[in-house]
Structure 1
Amino acid sequence: MKWHHVQENWTAFYEAILEKWPEADESELDEVDGDQRAFIAYLADATGQETSEIREELREWLAGEIPSDVIMDPTHDNHSISLSAKYVNEGEDVYDDDARFGDDDANED
């Protein structure tokens, strides 16, 4: 993902940010308001890490996929479904109903 995805959907990323950096505070994130430099400075202060370390962590974090709950549009959803194929066992269909998720080994009646 790119920083503009984060900036444009700033509050939607709070959960993902807090998961990655539990030292962050939601009210402080409100003040950062998607500004990347302010975010890096804030995280360096909140975590006690060097700015260069935070930049590297942020670069790694941005290398991941956009959390599915952040962007809700058919194009992104279909892209996410396609990417999820690597987690589907051989012989299963990516588009199958997941109502029985986790019970693949159960005997059919």
Structure 2
Amino acid sequence: MKWHHVQENWAAFYDAILEKWPDVDETDLDEIDGDQRAFVAHLAEVTGQEQAEIREELREWLAGEIPSDVVMDPAHDNHSIALSSKYVGEGEDEYADDARFGDDDEYPNDGDD
């Protein structure tokens, strides 16, 4: 993925960021607001690593898949969902409809879209 995906959907990446860098605080993420330089500087501060090491970790992290609940590509939904299964909690089905976001069939398409 590219940094602009992260920046445009910053809050949606909090879980993935906190999983990768558990020393980061959500309040700090709010202040960083998708600024890559500020994020690298903050990670260097909380982890005690050099910024060059953090940038390399960030490059590796960005080489991974975008979580499916952040950005979906209708042409590849099932593939994206399967790849993002690492972000789904143990015992959950990545293909299951998530009732917290409503039922897709609750409001049938009446052609007004």
User: Shared fold (TM-score greater than 0.5)?
Assistant: yes
Partner of 1:51: 51
C-alpha separation in 1, matches of 2:80 and 2:21: 24
Alpha-carbon offset, residue 13 of structure 1: 0.1
Q: 1:35 to 1:48 in 2, by over 3 A?
A: same
Larger Rg: 1
Q: CA RMSD in A?
A: 2.0
SS at 2:17 equivalent: helix
Partner of 1:31: 31
C-alpha separation in 1, matches of 2:29 and 2:75: 28
Partner of 1:5: 5
Q: Which runs of 5+ in 2 are unaligned?
A: 84-94, 97-113
Alpha-carbon offset, residue 69 of structure 1: 2.0
SS at 1:29 equivalent: helix
Percent sequence identity over matched residues?
79
Matched residue type, 1:38: A
C-alpha separation in 1, matches of 2:45 and 2:11: 20
List per-residue Cα deviations over 1:67-97 (Å, max 9, x = no partner). 112124524524415x75xxxxxxxxxxxxx
Count of aligned pairs between the two proteins: 85
Partner of 1:18: 18
TM-score by length of 1: 0.70
C-alpha separation in 1, matches of 2:65 and 2:21: 17
List per-residue Cα deviations over 1:56-76 (Å, max 9, x = no partner). 000000000101121245245
Give structure 1 regions of 4+ aligned residues with deviation exceeding 6 angstroms: none
Matched residue type, 1:50: E
Q: 1:76 to 1:14 in 2, by over 3 A?
A: farther
